[in-house]
């Protein structure tokens, strides 16, 4: 399974979209400061995630969520 996830910073208005095989471990890495891009906005909480059995669909959805229309969709619907 591939998981596309959205994290929300607890100290700012920031969101982060990512993809992983192991969601709990990945969130721990974000909150431990092991991911340079997200380390300065921690702690993070999981806002939502979607599981995909097809990796291609997961990567396509992650790419969409990182686009302008995908960010608007996520703010409104997720």
Q: Report residue 12: phi and psi, to 5°.
A: -150, -175
Total structural domains within the chain: 1
The average pLDDT across 52-74 equals 97
- For residue 77, being part of any structural domain is answered with no
Look at residue 78 and tell me whether its pLDDT is greater than 90. no
**Three-state DSSP class for 72?**
helix
Distance CA 27, CA 38 (A): 11
Q: Is the pLDDT of residue 17 over 90?
A: yes
By residue range, what is the domain housing residue 15? 2-55+62-67
Indicate whether 44 belongs to any domain. Answer: yes
What's the pLDDT score for residue 24?
97
Task: Please report which confidence band the pLDDT of residue 73 belongs to, taking 50, 70 and 90 as the band edges.
Answer: very high
């Amino acid at each position: 399974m591939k998981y596309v996830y959205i994290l929300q910073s607890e100290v700012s208005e920031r969101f982060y979209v990512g993809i992983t095989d192991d969601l709990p471990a990945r969130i721990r890495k974000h909150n431990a400061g092991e991911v340079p891009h997200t380390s300065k906005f921690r702690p993070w909480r999981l806002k939502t995630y979607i599981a995909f059995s097809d990796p291609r669909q997961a990567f396509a959805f992650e790419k969409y969520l990182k686009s302008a229309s995908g960010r608007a969709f996520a703010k409104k619907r997720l």
